């Protein structure tokens, strides 16, 4: 049996669960409510999808949201292009700011986000959202694109990497490594994560040739396999960077998320549509 066949069945069906969107991104599963959230950036909407009732609008305007995740209290963490900030949706529905500035300058356009087990929030800040396509005709105030670490209350923000144009990001299961997609260079980097949450030793993890804003999103399964959206579909690598195969997707995918009751379904946002495919593995619960 090949390594890829132990991750996904050869005849697995990539099922479309919704279409007709402008540019889908940032999927995240809500286990408590059995639903998926995802962004449609140009439409300025966060959608919600339930297996039993289908699609509905969760929030609009969304600040032209991109990446989404959930914090330790289950609140939605949002990367806003238009707001040029990372925000949090409180239990009463208010959107509060987690991060909007660094050393006096406005962030570029926060893109993707993960929450470490200690509650600290890591996000990427490339300039991609400062784009008329997304309705944000503004200019950068910072002279670099960074990976940031910020405390849950918005204090103690730090740029922990500034040596790439970062996009998607994901922790290894033990949180000792952080994978970051560098779209401009067509590769994924991996950093060591120290005890204080800092990053060091950035190095090449895998090349992903292609074009069209890829590689982009990253997710890791419980065994440390790395799943990256890229040309042709979702690229799958072993923990050492060896390529195992590609899960074909009908449209160029932007991001992905684990979901369903056992976290074994892979949800994929791909341009105008959202897809789901059942795997033999599973992601770590959010």
**What's the whole-number average pLDDT of the chain?**
95
Cβ atoms within 10 Å of 246's Cβ, excluding its own = 16
pLDDT surpassing 80 at residue 25: yes
Chain segment 163-204, per-residue pLDDT in tens: 999 999 999 999 999 999 999 999 999 999 999 999 999 999
pLDDT value at residue 211? 66
User: pLDDT value at position 133?
Assistant: 74
- What strands, in cross-sheet order, belong to the sheet with 85-89? 65-70, 76-80, 85-89, 95-99
Q: What is the mean pLDDT of residues 76-96?
A: 96
Query: What is the mean predicted confidence (pLDDT) over 156-168?
Result: 96
Structural tokens at position 43: 């439409």
pLDDT at 1: 54
Question: Omega into 33 within 30° of 0, i.e. cis?
Answer: no
Task: Check residue 3 and give its pLDDT.
Answer: 84
Residue-by-residue DSSP string for the chain: --TGGGTS-TT---EEEEE--S-EEEEEEETTTTEEEEEETTTTEEEEEETTTEEEEEESS-SSEEEEEE-TTSPEEEEETTTTEEEEE-TTS-EEEEE-EETTEEPS----EEE-TTS-EEEEE-STTSSGGGT-----SSSS-EEEEE-TTS-S-EEEE-SS-EEEEEE-TTSSEEEEEETTTTEEEEEEE-TTS-EEEEEEEEE----SS-S--EEEBTT--EEEEETTEEEEE-TTS-EEEEEE-SS---EEEEESTTS-EEEEEETTEEEEEE-SS-BPP-
Structure tokens, 212: 């069209």
Find out whether 120 and 152 touch, Cβ atoms under 8 Å.
yes
Report the percentage of the chain scoring pLDDT > 90: 93
Q: Round the CA-based radius of gyration of the chain to a whole number and report it.
A: 17
Domains in the chain and their CATH numbers? 4-278 (2.120.10.30)
pTM: 0.96
For the chain, report the end-to-end CA distance as a whole number of angstroms.
Answer: 30
Give the C-alpha separation, 180 to 126, whole Å. Answer: 12
Task: Give the span between the Cα atoms of 204 and 164, in whole angstroms.
Answer: 11
> Which residues face 56 on adjacent strands?
48
d(CA 182, CA 190): 10
Say how many C-beta atoms besides its own lie within 10 A of residue 133's C-beta. 12
**pLDDT, greater one: 136 or 192:** 192
């Amino acid at each position: 049996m090949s390594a890829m066949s132990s991750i996904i069945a050869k005849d697995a069906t990539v099922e479309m669960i919704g279409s007709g969107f402008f540019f889908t991104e940032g999927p995240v599963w809500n286990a408590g409510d059995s639903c998926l959230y995802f962004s449609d950036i140009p439409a300025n909407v966060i959608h919600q999808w339930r297996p039993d009732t289908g699609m509905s609008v969760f929030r609009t305007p969304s600040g032209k949201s991109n990446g989404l995740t959930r914090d330790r209290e289950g609140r939605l963490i949002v990367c806003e292009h238009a707001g040029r900030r990372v925000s949090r949706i409180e239990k009463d529905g208010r959107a509060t700011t987690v991060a909007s500035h660094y050393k006096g300058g406005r962030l570029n356009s926060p893109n993707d986000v993960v929450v470490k087990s200690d509650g600290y929030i890591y996000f990427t800040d490339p300039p991609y959202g400062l784009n008329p396509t997304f309705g944000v005709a503004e200019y950068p105030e910072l002279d670099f694109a960074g990976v940031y670490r910020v405390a849950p209350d918005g204090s103690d923000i730090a740029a922990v990497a500034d040596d790439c144009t970062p996009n998607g990001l994901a922790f290894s299961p033990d949180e000792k490594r952080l994978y970051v997609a560098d779209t401009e260079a067509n590769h994924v980097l991996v950093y060591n994560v120290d005890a204080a949450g800092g990053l060091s030793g950035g190095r090449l993890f895998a090349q992903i040739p292609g074009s069209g804003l890829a590689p982009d999103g990253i997710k890791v399964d419980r065994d440390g396999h790395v799943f990256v959206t890229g040309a042709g579909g979702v690229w799958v690598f072993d923990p050492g960077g060896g390529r195992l195969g590609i899960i074909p997707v009908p449209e160029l995918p932007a991001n992905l998320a684990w979901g369903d009751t056992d976290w074994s379904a892979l949800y994929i946002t791909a341009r105008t549509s959202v897809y789901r495919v059942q795997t033999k593995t599973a992601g770590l619960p959010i």
